[in-house]
A and B are shown apart, each in its own frame.
Chain A
Amino acid sequence: MTNETMTPLLEKYATQIETVLSKYPPDRKQSAVLPLLYLAQREYGYCTPEAIREVAEIAGVEPTEVDAVVGFYTLFYDHPVGKHVVQVCNDLPCALRGSDQFLEHACQKLGLDKHQVEHGGATTADGEFTLESVVCLAACDKAPLLQIDLEYFERLTPEEFDRLIEEYRKK
């Protein structure tokens, strides 16, 4: 292996990566795996096998170790997802506050199959939205609620959902 290997990420985000790495001691480069994965996911849309290898090389760890991190955290995606990821909590307390009907509406609005949404998520044909039914967003009292990308929207009605979707479609 040569030292001059330049990964696409390194080429494009040299300064950002340097900033990330500078936050940790030089012999603890593996600490930078999470921030590097954010960067990679933003760049490629999801954590592709190539992205994982890139991050591993930059952080000086094995690709398997990086992949295990991707597998552990639910907000890292190992498969292609829409431009925006919508997560609706449908655990018991939320369901008591009507989240299941809310989810049904969301599926209808986006034209997605509820069974698919409940088993790993589904993506709209135009690639704009991925809808997932998840377990616990830690805000049971504010159900029905959802998370779009990293932002929370709480105590929602179907109308508010439609408005949100139109808003994000423009983003």
Chain B
Amino acid sequence: MADLINLFIDDVAVSVPKGTLIVDAAKRADIDIPVFCYHPKLKPVGMCRMCLVQVGRVKLDRGTGQPVLDANGSPEIAYGPKLETSCTTPVEPGMRVITNTDLVKRAQKDVLEFLLTSHPLDCPICDKGGECPLQNLTLTYGPGVTRFDYADKQHLDKHYPLGELIFLDKERCIQCARCIRFQDEIADDHVLGFYERGRKMQIETMSTPGFDSKFSGNTTDICPVGALTTRDFRFRARPWEITNVPSICPHCPVGCNISLGTRRSAKGGGEWEILRVMPRQNEAVNEIWICDKGRFGHHYARSQARLQKPLIKKEGRLVEATWEEAFSLIADRFRAANGKAAGWLGDRVSNEDAWLFGKLFREGFNSAQLVNRPHVAGLDLVARYGVGVGTNLGNLGQGDVVFIVAGDVEETAPVHMLRLKAAVERGAKLIVANARETKMDRYAAISIQYQPGMDTQTVYSLLASVSNQQSAISSQVAKFAPSDNKIKAAGQLIAEAQNLIVMLGDERPYPVMVQGQYTDAGRALAQACANLVVATGHIGKANNGLLPLWPHNNTQGVYDMLSAQGAEALSGEVKALYLVGTDPIGEGQNLPPTDFVVVQELFLTPTAQQADVVLPALAWAERDGTFTNAERRVQRYYKALPPTGQAKADWEIFRLIAEKFGLKWSFFSAEGVMHEIAAQVAAYAGLDYVCLAETKEEWPPVGTSSDLYFGGTAYDNRGGVGAQTKSLFEINGRSELKWIEPPPPSGQSIEPRRLNRPGTLIDQSAIYEVRLRAAELVKIEA
């Protein structure tokens, strides 16, 4: 523990770690110092002067350097002639801070009077009104009237698009630079700046497209006024009319905690809509950030194109049918298939859906031919050697090493990029190995660029250069001993690491035929990464093990469920095929030859168009459930919207089909399914919807319940912070090294994974289209 400093704030004794700023120390003592430019996630700048306080320091004798004592023998305190900014001043022993004298109050009044000289009084139509730090602090500390002449007010552009997603109201801006600092310090996309100076100073961007950052939406959350608004939400609703429903982002494996701001809206025909998506604070997962895809990629839940009713193919055309007709037909055909049935399950569905899908196949269809899609290699290895319980990228620092291979963190798991960058600033070391340059190379202690297809070889070169490693596969690994000094240095870093996380990407060819043999290069790479953590002993502990860059939000959970249901690979003839939330035909692949196809979907995808029966499923926001993120944290999401048409939750559809097979399952909620999962899947033992809904105090405290100045009524985590499941190694202590000879490079090109690639769901967000097109342009150029 760092040295503690004792001081007094408003006569309250406070003890805080050395280096703490006065403003944070006061917060620990429940004393609120008002701020605008200060933000606990950003470096202090002292720009707005709102946090001025009186600071007294222990008077030192110039000759002896000892404190001067008064008549009572206690140290004399010397107060500075001027007020000081508490957001830039660190605490000192014996310091006395006063935050509530007339002098301080007058300074606060004056600062607010200056800030309001040109700020428009359009609170009644401002998106921020109701959760606005400027509004809050003016009411609490402000002067009430101004001495400035109205004619001196600056009239500036009120609808200035910084980009296609974020608008700037130049009159409302108070030049606190929170947005610029977020872009510079946290996102590291230097696309916002100040133009001009003095009273004319304004935010600007010159990037193409405008405000080109994957994290731009976060600036609207931390903006302390209504200057920055999203195209999605601006002028749609007042914050107090919104119902914030806790949810989990349905796009990537980070599993960002979000709040869905819902309301009935006139624009939506009087129906409930998601008006905005905001981050929900979870310091172990996403802190208070989300990426733009998560923020703007929700429109699919309320798309007009959603499937409303079951469809059955009659005379070559899909026509509307009742659930009963659809279920009867499915039951008949799967019964007739007599065990020759197969299921393809997309990795976006909830754990509960995946569990009952497997159960339906096993108990109803008498088959275990279950495939999770898309194909990724190493799911079993992550289940076994994934990062240990208690892992938190926010705790990484001195002595910790993260090795990233075959993946672009910013493109696959954007918020991980922010947190790894911060970890490097705290002293963690990053080793990045890829076939091309990625943004992570900026923060890497060592960047390794290998020839495409040489990923596995590179991992073994690294393992061979870890000096203190002796293992069952040493002789095979020795063949890859590096001549490259960079790899040797990286091996040295790993040898000295206290904690090691290996981030397994999937930018490599999918299974292909090489020299007449079916080769899964991904499998070889995943095994190599597993060997690396096993051989070096970096498993079964917090902040150690594999952390995969999986393609979707629940890739790991779907695998966990299906494997626990005894899933087997496709082996024989398939007479009836059931696809859920996956579109192979749309991705240019073929279905196996079969007589009967059921597709359960949100949209009439190219695959659904080929189906014999199409079942409409509920979108994530219309139901509840759990997702398991890449760190194997199981997190709950809640129902935020009423259902679309006659659509049903996936798990419920499976239960109703099971009834046709005479199975009496007693699940009436997703929660009930989780009870069975917890009872039957070792890693999920002990989990239930109550413990997953537990929250804890988050530091730094932001949100309405704690302050007047960090804005955002959606930060408060009322939905639960989730629970991380144990890896199999943590359960049974078994590990083994396995040798898979690295396949030679196939020569097949590797398409980089892009966050903003078009897809069935994201295509429904019209406002996001420019980003998708911009990503296409990059691809053509590359």
Contacts and interface: CB of A to CB of B under 8 A. Distances in A.
A62 B195 contact: no
Contacts of B493: none
A72 B190 contact: no
A71 B196 contact: yes
Given A52-B206, A67-B204, A71-B195, A62 B781 contact: no
Given A66-B206, A71-B194, 15 more contacts: A1-B781, A53-B206, A61-B190, A62-B189, A62-B190, A62-B206, A62-B207, A63-B207, A64-B191, A64-B207, A65-B193, A67-B193, A68-B193, A71-B204, A72-B196
Interface string A36-57: 0000000000000100110000
Interface string B186-207: 0001111111110000001111
A67 B207 CA distance: 11
Contacts of A1: 781
B327 to A, nearest CB: 55
Nearest to B196: A71
B781 A72 contact: no
Contacts of B205: 64
7 smallest A-B Cβ distances: which pairs? A68-B193, A71-B195, A63-B206, A62-B190, A64-B206, A64-B193, A67-B206
Contacts of A52: 206
A49 B206 contact: yes
B558 to A, nearest CB: 38
Interface residues of A, dominant DSSP = helix
A62 B206 CA distance: 8
The residue in B192, B193, B204 that gathers the most chain A C-beta atoms within 10 A of its C-beta is B193
Nearest to A68: B193
Nearest to B782: A1
The residue in B204, B205, B206, B207 that gathers the most chain A C-beta atoms within 10 A of its C-beta is B206
Given A62-B206, A62-B207, A67 B195 contact: yes
5 contacts: A62-B207, A64-B207, A65-B193, A67-B195, A67-B206
A48 to B, nearest CB: 12
A52 B205 CA distance: 12
Contacts of A66: 206
B193 to A, nearest CB: 3
A71 B201 CA distance: 9
Interface in A114-129: none
B196 A64 contact: no
Nearest to B200: A71
Nearest to A67: B206
Contacts of B193: 64-65, 67-68, 71
Contacts of B191: 62, 64
A139 to B, nearest CB: 21
B104 to A, nearest CB: 32
A67 B191 CA distance: 10
Interface in A144-169: none
Nearest to B201: A71
B781 A68 contact: no
Nearest to B190: A62
A67 B203 CA distance: 11
A68 B195 CA distance: 5
Given A1-B781, A62-B191, A68 B204 contact: yes
Contacts of B192: 64
B194 A68 contact: yes
Interface string A86-109: 000000000000000000000000
A128 B478 CA distance: 75
Contacts of A68: 193-195, 204
